[in-house]
Structure 1
Amino acid sequence: MKIESIAIIKKELKHLSQEELLELCLRLGKFKKENKALLTYLLFQSHDEDGYVASVKTTLDELFEAINTDSYFYMKKTIRKILRQIRVYSRYSLKKTTEVELLLYFCKRLNELKPSIHRNTTLSNLYERQILSIKKKISVLHEDLQYDYNLQLQELNEKS
């Protein structure tokens, strides 16, 4: 099956009635969990970005509480899983500030983990890569936001 481009799909969607569009959206939501999550974000949470970030942080807290800290091996697997979740949540929101806030929160929670992630080379490198990623993302934001986020980043560096 050949998959059409977004432009062609957009043209075709213009010719559909409201009822047909509704049916397509519901079918997409039933097909895959990520589609359903995206529809949930667009319909219920996109108008309140701060509420969305707060709900994602609550979800991240639950994931961090569930980390098995008996072994660095299990910690690494779970931390990577959490990072993948953050990337998915960030893709739903097209705002760069959301991604920066979630990554800053992720790094903050990593610093609080016991045993320390800085005793493990892999986890320490993962943390450093996230810090570099945050710096890149901050550099494209408005100056006022850059200042605020850079302050938070300095706090993280002092704690690590």
Structure 2
Amino acid sequence: MKTATAKELKTALSNSSQTELLDLCLRLARFKKENKELLTYLLFESDYEAGYIQSIKDEMDEQFEQINTKSYFYIRKSVRKIHNNTKKYIRYSLKKETEVELLLYFCQKLKDFDPPISRSPRLQGVYDRTLLSIKKTIPKLHEDLQYDFNEELEDL
């Protein structure tokens, strides 16, 4: 099956009625969890970004508490999962402020984690790459936000 381009999809959707669009959205939501999560964000949470960020932070707190600390293998696996989930939520938002705030929070949680991540080169690499990503994103923000986020970055 050949996949249609974004332009073709946009044209087809603009020619559809409101009920057809509703049916298409509901059908899309039935298939993948990510589609449902994106629709939930767009319909309910995009208006109140601060609440969305706080809910993700709460989820991250919960996930960090559940990490099995018996071995660095399990820690790495769990940290990768938390990082991937965070990146997924950032993709839903598409706002650079949200991206920087969530990644800074992830780095702070990782830095404060016990046992220390400095004993695992792979975990240290995840931490360093995330900091590098934050440093690349901060210049794209408004000057006031840049200053605030740079202050937080210096604390790390």
Aligned positions, number: 156
Structure 2 residues not aligned, in runs of 5+ = none
Residue 57 in 1 paired to residue 57 in 2? yes
Q: Extract structure 1 runs of 4+ deviating beyond 2 A.
A: none
Structure-1 residue corresponding to 2:117: 117
In 2, the alpha carbon distance for the partners of 1:140 and 1:44 equals: 27
- TM-score with structure 1 length normalisation? 0.96
SS of alignment partner, residue 150 of structure 2: helix
Tell me the secondary structure at the aligned position of residue 103 of structure 1.
helix
Deviation of the 1:125 alpha carbon: 1.3
Question: CA offsets per residue over residues 50-91 of structure 1, 9 Å max, x none?
Answer: 000000101111111111111100000010011100110000
Partner of 1:20 in structure 2? 20
Percent identity, please: 57
- Look up the match of 2:129: 129
User: 1:42 is matched by which residue type in structure 2?
Assistant: L
Letter in 2 for 1:67: I
- Give the secondary-structure state (helix, strand or coil) at the position aligned to 1:16: coil
1:10 — aligned with what?
10
The AA in structure 1 aligned to 2:133 is: S
> Scaled by the length of structure 2, what TM-score is found?
0.98
1:88 aligns to what? 88
What are the ranges of 5 or more consecutive residues in structure 1 without an aligned counterpart?
none
